[in-house]
Amino acid sequence: MILPYGNPIPVELLNPGVSQKITMLRQRGVWTGNGLWQSDGDGKDEITGRGIIYPTTPDELRALPEGERITKAVTIYWSQTFHHNDRVEYEGEEYRVIHVDPWQKFGYNRAVAQVNQIER
């Protein structure tokens, strides 16, 4: 698969022996003229695919701002673009994206997500 930038998606992201199924829930809405996200009610879009998920390492946690240093988090590599506050379902729990590294020019994006403490 070739991305718009001409880079292929890394094989590891599609390999079922290495990657996992990911389901992401994104709140429907639009970006306003002043750069803020305006929610469009309670609707959510479900995006599914394959990516790599693993427990966030202590070094990755230390790189986050202090207020986002939590104990139960996962790091996700996926070809989809992440937005802050996207929800990711993994192993029966819901995680909220708290940090995003847009590495699309390399064929994937990286995000750190923490267990969602808010009721669904």
Domains contained in the chain, CATH given: 11-28+42-115 (2.40.10)
**Among residues 69, 49, 50, which one has the least CA distance to residue 112?**
69
User: Measured between alpha carbons, how far is 82 from 5 in angstroms, rounded to an integer?
Assistant: 17
CA dihedral 61, 62, 65, 68 (to 10 degrees): 30
Rounded CA separation 75/88 (Å): 11
Distance from C-alpha of 89 to C-alpha of 4, rounded to nearest angstrom: 27
For 106-117, write each residue's pLDDT tens digit. 778 889 998 876
Q: What are phi and psi of 94, to 5 degrees?
A: -105, 130
Question: Tell me: the pLDDT tens digits for 10-20?
Answer: 666 667 777 88
**38: helix, coil or strand?**
strand
pTM of the model: 0.73
